[in-house]
Amino acid sequence: MLSWSHQNSFLLFSILVVIKVFGIVWPPIPGAVLTIGSIPFLGWFNAYLADFIGNYLGSSIAFYIGARWGFAFMGKIFDENTIRKISRIKIKSHREIETIFVLSLFGGIVFEAICYGSGLLKTKYKNFVIGTILSNIVWLPYFYIAEGIFAKRNLSINMISLLAIILVLFHLRHRFFEYGGAPEIIEVVDEVR
């Protein structure tokens, strides 16, 4: 596999971008797992770049699906109770970029829900893109840390760094929503999982 990936690095990179896009548009596909798993084959920066491009394209598609078909589309994915909770979420308009940025850092199914939900909740696309791109830039250390873990370098430093990032995000969770928003987003995330 290592030999093939070195000979076909552009093909592997392109396949990862496409899988990442589909992983956001159709969440059961594990796009992030594959891009992080490709670090030993592509190197941390190329794996990150594939993830970044796939995130941008996939999140834009999901945003427009959420904005265009809204609750009718979401009703096919989530139950009525989850839809009701999503409809009560209100992002503070002056904190759209910051909210998208912080929530996007959680990745996984939370990120996909944010992409669809941002279109659904009428977040400005420009703010959505800026928040998403900034969060993807912050993901750069995750890929570097993951490479260190794969290579078994500085394991304690890498694990402490990862834990510190998670604790900061947990501490800031109530800063972004108007009244009632934080409990609803937490309940929605729990139900989606």
- Gap between the Cα atoms of 34 and 64, Å rounded: 25
What's the pLDDT score for residue 77? 65
Please give the full DSSP string across 88-114, using - where no structure is assigned: H--B-GGGHHHHHHHHHTT-HHHHHHH
The DSSP code for 82 is: H
- Gap between the Cα atoms of 118 and 127, Å rounded: 10
pTM reported for the whole predicted model: 0.71
Dihedral angle sign, alpha carbons of residues 56, 51, 54, 87: negative
Look-up: residue for tokens 């959505």? 128
Q: Per-residue pLDDT for the chain (193 aa), expressed as one digit of tens each?
A: 778 888 888 999 999 999 989 888 887 677 777 888 888 888 888 989 998 999 899 999 989 998 888 777 777 766 777 677 767 767 777 778 877 877 776 666 667 777 887 887 788 899 889 988 888 887 777 777 777 777 777 667 666 776 776 677 666 656 655 544 444 444 544 554 4
What's the pLDDT score for residue 187? 53
Do the beta carbons of residue 2 and residue 20 sit within 8 Å? no
Cβ atoms < 10 Å from Cβ of 8 = 13
